[in-house]
Amino acid sequence: MDSWQEAWAARAQHFNPEIAFSRPHRTLAVSLTGSHCALQCAHCAGHYLNGMVPIEIADGTGMTSCLVSGGFDQRGRVPVTSHLARVAALRPGRVLNWHVGMIDEGEIRAIAPYVDVISFDFAGDNDTIRDVYGLDYTVDDYVRTYAMLRRHARVVPHVTLGLRGGKFSGEYRALGILTDLGVDALVVLVFIPTAGTRYAGCQPPSLAEVANFLLAARCALAGTPIYLGCMRPGGRYRRDLDALAVWAGVNKVVNPAAFAVRLAKERGLDIQWESECCVIQGP
């Protein structure tokens, strides 16, 4: 049995023949720091904060959920307790997904009444942590933070493929660690070369590398939902990647290419459309 057949067999053994496609137009992305980020990471440099709504003016009207995030301080933490009154005002009737960074236990206890799920970026390589984020942390620090967060909330780790300028560096180690620790779900992201960043001139990892990781993840986490998240390159790359993700047996694709939707139908999968952040709705 080749790796594609093995991955599909693992999916078929543990999941119903269905796939979710999400267009998260009912999740409001909120930044606790506006467009400011002290770290200016090599892959982002605060660019993606510009697409979020500052907490000071956030209005959840018509939204059923919120992503609560923001820029990092010099310790790699989002200042999660900085606007709790405003977060509390958004809470009624909405599910809150938090992106917290390397926070401590006191901070998670403070925000716990407003947390439904935490999205945690997990790194599996010390050099990547230093080169991308500029942080003096190790993989062990990420393991400890992840384990601590799980004592207080549902946590969905995110692994970005090619985070170190498009090169694989610790992704398989991260997968192995998370497999051992246990995960409720795994979100896979792919490095996007972004203008104005130190990695602007880099290329995303090859489709073959990404596909091989998805296959390995499907087999290692056979009974765990795997999602292809919103952060990945566009154009032809996305069209081909989304199709490969369907073949690899992922459970959900965010903002899918039309070709992948057609392929899912051809594979006999029932399609479930969702309207929120991928970690908020099942499976």
Quote the CA–CA distance of 268 and 6 in Å, as a whole number: 18
CB atoms within 10 A of CB 40: 16
pTM beyond 0.85: yes
Question: The tokens of 33 are what?
Answer: 């720091």
Question: The tokens of 160 are what?
Answer: 């970005």
Strand ranges for 137-232 from DSSP E: 155-161, 186-190, 226-228
CB atoms within 10 A of CB 29: 19
Q: Which tens digits make up the pLDDT trace of 105-155?
A: 999 999 999 999 999 999 999 999 999 999 999 999 999 999 999 999 999
> In the predicted model, is pLDDT for residue 269 greater than 90?
yes
Q: Which tens digits make up the pLDDT trace of 63-100?
A: 999 999 999 999 999 999 999 999 999 999 999 999 99
Q: What is the mean pLDDT of residues 205-217?
A: 98
Question: The tokens of 163 are what?
Answer: 């985070």
Domain spanning 3-274: which superfamily? Aldolase class I (3.20.20.70)
Q: What is the dihedral of CA 174, 139, 143, 51, to 10 degrees?
A: -70
